[in-house]
Structure 1
């Protein structure tokens, strides 16, 4: 299946991307010649990773009948010092909120997402050390 986005320059360092499902403004900080009007390109990659695994988990929870009150997914990444700069270490941090959480099913869903379903995770593994951790918390 072929995916396609259309990106147009809006002046300075600002670009507008028409993507599958929406529009994204891409820019950089003022100190780098931008106006700070959009998301940074590398940050979009981390966002895609969190969104991909999050959607996997939400879908798996529905099938597995896992009840949680909320889910937070944070991504921490180390950028290399030399150009081209890329993320060489990436950690996905899952936080599941609720009472009487079924930790076995939650861990199974996270593992299935990371090892089988999330294509963005698979792409990250091609160039970075991708790890994850899970935290269980009472209601927010």
Structure 2
């Protein structure tokens, strides 16, 4: 299976990228780098992809396991190298679950399955970055 994405220059430093789903996003850089700040930054978008990929896995597993979770968010904090080409050499991925009846063992299993088995973006990140997975339970 292949994916096909078309990224079109809109002028200046702004691009619009299509997705196989038919949705589009704008990509740009910050004013200090000559951009208009009209879209997402490419490297930050990689972190969004990482969290989104794993989040989709975990959300699907939470549904299958019939887990009660009021709020679920993923914080992704990555270190960018100093030298060009700058890339992420490490990242901390924090899974935050909030609820009154959290089943911590099952939530941990859902995260572990995503991290170790299902999330392809996580596997790609492992090729160039050290990953630190953390899970936080916020009981109400």
Alignment TM-score, normalising by the size of structure 2: 0.96
Q: Which residue of 1 aligns with 2:109?
A: 108
**Unpaired runs of 5+ in structure 1?**
none
What is the 5 A alignment of 1:27-106? 27-106=28-107
Shift of 1:64: 1.3
Q: Which residue of 2 aligns with 1:12?
A: 12
Q: Residue by residue, what CA displacement relative to the aligned partner does 1:81-137 show, whole Å, maximum 9, x if unpaired?
A: 001100001111111000131111000000000000000000000000011101111
Matched residue count: 139
Give distance in 2, aligned partners of 1:13 and 1:85: 19
**Unpaired runs of 5+ in structure 2?**
none
Say if 2:102 and 2:139, in contact at 8 Å, map to a contact too: no
Shift of 1:65: 1.5
Give distance in 2, aligned partners of 1:44 and 1:86: 13
TM superposition outliers: structure 1 runs of 4+ over 6 Å = none
- Calculate the aligned-residue CA RMSD, in Å: 0.8
Give distance in 2, aligned partners of 1:126 and 1:67: 34
Q: Residue by residue, what CA displacement relative to the aligned partner does 1:16-55 show, whole Å, maximum 9, x if unpaired?
A: 1011221010000011011000000001100001111110
SS for the counterpart of 1:114 is helix
Give distance in 2, aligned partners of 1:11 and 1:86: 25
